[in-house]
Structure 1
Amino acid sequence: LPVIAASIYRMKYFGESKKPKYNPKQDYGLNFARMMKVPDKKGYAELARLYFILHSDHESGNVSAHTMHLVGSALSDPYLSFSAALNGLAGPLHGLANQECLGWLIEVKNKFGRVPTRDELYKFAWDTLNSGHVIPGYGHAVLRVPDPRYMAQLEFAKKRFPEDELVRLAELVFDVVPQVLKEQGKAKNPAPNVDAISGTLQYYYGVREFDFYTVLFGIGRALGVTANYVWARALGQPLERPKSLTTKMLEDVVAKAAQPA
C-alpha cells in the first residue's frame, strides 16, 4: 500500500510515472516518507508511523471498518473486502472530515492574517454557528472526551514545531471551541476528534493536496481492518446478516412512542 499510495501521489501531482521501490530493510513509515516528495523525510517518517497507527482501527462501528468486516464475512478475499471499505471511506461523511478541518483553520488564519486572539476566535466561532454552519472536527458519535488520537498528534506537533501558526491555531481552537459548543448546548461531546488536527500535520510537512488525505487515512486503516479480517476467519465468525424491520413493526414503534406517558 505505501508503494501504491506514493505512486499515485507522484503521478497525480508531479506527473512522474516511475514506481518507487519498497526497501524491506526499512520500516513502513520510513519507506513511505522516502517515496513521498517531502523535504524532511526523517521528520515525515516519524509522522507517518504515528499517523498510520492512529488511523489503523477505531472500533467496528465506523463505515470502513464495518464494511471490511461485512464483506469479509461472505468469505470475500482481503482485496475485495478492503476495496469495499475504501469505497465507504470515500464517502464525504466518513473520509472528508480532516480536509474540512484543515480548510476551516486556514480560513480562520486568512481572515485575521495571523493567529487570532482568544476573544477574536471566540466571536468567530459563534459567527460560524449562528450562520448555520458547523465547526468541523469537534464532536463525535461515540467519544465523550477529547479523542486520544487528537491528543497524540497535538503533542507530536507541540514537541517538534510548536511555533507553526496552524499548530498554534489548532491548540487555541482546542481551548476555545469546546466552551462555545457547551454554551450553545447542542453538542453532546464538544471535544475534538482526530480529524481536528491530522491535516495540519500533513500540511506542515508539505503534503498540501487535500484530496490525498483520505488516501493516507486508507493506508493506516488497512493495518487494523485486515488484522480483524484475519481474526474473524480464525474464530470462524459467521456471515453477517442483520435482522430487518417490517413496516408494521415500525408503525408499532411510532404508535407506542405517541401514547401519553
Structure 2
Amino acid sequence: MTENKITATSGIACYSPGLAGIPAAESSISYVDGQHGYLEYRGIDIEQLAEHSSFEETAWLLLYGTLPTADELAAFDKELRHHRRVKFRIRDMMKCFPESAHPMDSLQATVAALGMYYPFPKSEKGRLDPKTAHQVCVNLIAKMPTLVAAHARMRHGDDPIAPRDDLSHAANFFYMLTGEEPYPLTERIMDVALIVHAEHTMNASTFSTLVVASTHADPYSSISAAIGALAGPLHGGANEDVLHMLDEIGSVEAADAYLNNKLSKKEKISGLGHRVYKTKDPRATLLQKLYVELTEKMGSDPTYEIARHIEELSKSTLGSKGVCPNVDFYSGIVYRKLGIATDLFTPIFAVSRVAGWLAHWKEQLGDGRLYRPNQIYRGLRDQTYVPIEKR
C-alpha cells in the first residue's frame, strides 16, 4: 500500500502509514533536528543538560518550561525524596506476579494500580488545578523507580530495599536496584542516562499518553498506556535486542560476517536506524562517552568493541542511507557495565521518560482536543447477509 501525498487544501483525505510526517500536536517541550543530529529540551541542547544539569532539574524544565531557581529546585527535590515510598498493598500485589513476568509488564500494572490509591479529580473541561497537576507529576516521577526496583528484587525472592531520602534520584534508584550506594561516577552516569532518555518529541509512547489523556482519563492510565507502548521492541525494547545481538556475534572477528549476512537478507540490525535521525543519534554519542569514562575505571569489555566495530562497518554500508546508531545502541552496554540486568533496561527508560510523558500530559489537558483520527475504508460495501445454513 503506497503512501498518499495530498495537500491539506485539497479537501481529500490523505493516508500516511504510521502517521509518518503527519503533525498530530503542537508542543513547546522538545525539538529534534534529525538531519543534523540535534536534540533540545525547551530550547536547551541535550549536551549542555548532560554536562551541567541533573535529572531533577531537567524534569522541572520539561514540566514547567524554564530552569528552576535554587529554591524551586530544592523544594522539588525534597518533594521527590518524600514521595518515593509506595503503599504496602501495591507491594503485596507485586508479590503475586509470576516470577517470569517481564519488568515492563509489572511496571505497567502497578502504575495503573496507583490510580486507585490516588484518585484523580475529573473536571468537565479537563482543566487541572496547578497544585493537583504538580502532585501527580511528583508522585509518578518519585514512585516509578521504587516500583521497578521492588519488582527486580521480589522476582528473585528478595525483599525490596526501602528508598533513602539522603540520596539523589539517580543514586537512590541504583541503591534500590543493587543494594549498594553508587560511586560518584556511577551516580553521574545514571543521572546523565536519565537526562538523555527523559523526552523525545512525538514518539509512540508519548502519542499513547496524549490519546489517553485526551479522553480525560486519569493520568495513571495515560502513563500506563505509554509504558505499554514503550515495551515494544520497535520502541524502548530495542536496547535489549542490541545486547542479544552483540552476544550472538560473540567477537569482533565475527562482526563482518554477521553484518553482511543481515544486509544480504535485508534484515533489521538492532540499534541502527531511527524514524527521525538520519545521522548518529546525539544521545548515542553521549552514552558512548559515558561508557568510555566508565571503562577508565573498570576496564573495557568485548561487547563494546563489537558494537564499535559494527558502527564502523555500518558507516560504509548503511551510513549513506541515514541508518546510524540510535540511543539504544549504547545504552544497554552502559547499563550492563553497571551490573544491571538486561530486562531492566527498558524500565529504566520508562523511569526517565515519565518526565517527558507528564509534560505532554499537561500540555494535552491545557490545549488539546479528543483524538479521533479518521480512516480510509478499503473493504467491501453493500453486502447481503447470508443465513448460516446457506454458507
Query: Are residue 45 (structure 1) and residue 178 (structure 2) matched?
Result: no
The normalised TM-score by structure 2 is 0.55
Match 1:240 to one of 344, 354, 371: 371
Match of 1:252 in 2: none
Query: Are residue 175 (structure 1) and residue 312 (structure 2) matched?
Result: yes
Deviation of 1:38 after TM superposition, in Å, equals: 6.5
Match of 1:9 in 2: 152
Match of 1:141 in 2: 275
Match of 1:193 in 2: 326
1:171-222 CA-to-partner distances (Å, cap 9, x unmatched) read 222211231225xx7xx322110111111111111113x2222211211111
Query: Are residue 165 (structure 1) and residue 290 (structure 2) matched?
Result: no
Match of 1:95 in 2: 236
Q: Is the CA contact (8 Å cut-off) linking 2:149 and 2:173 kept in structure 1?
A: yes
Deviation of 1:167 after TM superposition, in Å, equals: 2.0
Deviation of 1:5 after TM superposition, in Å, equals: 0.7
1:30-85 CA-to-partner distances (Å, cap 9, x unmatched) read 1101111176722432232122221111111x211110111111122211110111
Match 1:229 to one of 361, 364, 375: 361
Change (3 A) 1:25 1:232: farther
- Give the secondary structure class of the aligned counterpart of 2:268: coil
CA-based RMSD of the aligned residues comes to 2.3
Change (3 A) 1:40 1:180: farther
Match 2:173 to one of 15, 32, 41: 32
- Give the secondary structure class of the aligned counterpart of 1:161: helix
1:218-256 CA-to-partner distances (Å, cap 9, x unmatched) read 1111111112212333x33222222x13437xxxxxxxx
Match of 1:63 in 2: 204
Match of 1:251 in 2: none
Match of 2:101 in 1: none
- Give the secondary structure class of the aligned counterpart of 2:367: coil
Q: Is the CA contact (8 Å cut-off) linking 1:122 and 1:180 kept in structure 2?
A: no
1:136-172 CA-to-partner distances (Å, cap 9, x unmatched) read 1111111111001100000111122163322222222
Separation in 2, partners of 1:149, 1:25: 29
Separation in 1, partners of 2:212, 2:193: 26
| Higher helix proportion (structure 1 or 2) | 1
Match 1:202 to one of 331, 335, 339: 335
Q: Whose Rg is larger?
A: 2
Query: Are residue 21 (structure 1) and residue 162 (structure 2) matched?
Result: yes
Change (3 A) 1:171 1:40: farther
The normalised TM-score by structure 1 is 0.80
The share of aligned pairs that are identical, in percent, is 28
In the comparison of the two structures, how many residue pairs are matched? 232
Q: Is the CA contact (8 Å cut-off) linking 1:97 and 1:195 kept in structure 2?
A: yes
Match of 2:349 in 1: 217
Q: Is the CA contact (8 Å cut-off) linking 1:38 and 1:207 kept in structure 2?
A: no
- Give the secondary structure class of the aligned counterpart of 1:93: coil
Deviation of 1:92 after TM superposition, in Å, equals: 2.8
Separation in 2, partners of 1:123, 1:180: 13
1:109-141 CA-to-partner distances (Å, cap 9, x unmatched) read 2xx4xx33xxx6334311232245332111111
Separation in 2, partners of 1:78, 1:172: 43
Change (3 A) 1:246 1:140: closer
Change (3 A) 1:74 1:153: same
1:2-51 CA-to-partner distances (Å, cap 9, x unmatched) read 11111011111x3113x322233322101101111176722432232122
Deviation of 1:96 after TM superposition, in Å, equals: 2.1
Change (3 A) 1:168 1:11: same
- Give the secondary structure class of the aligned counterpart of 1:171: helix
**Structure 1: runs of 5+ lacking an equivalent:** 249-261
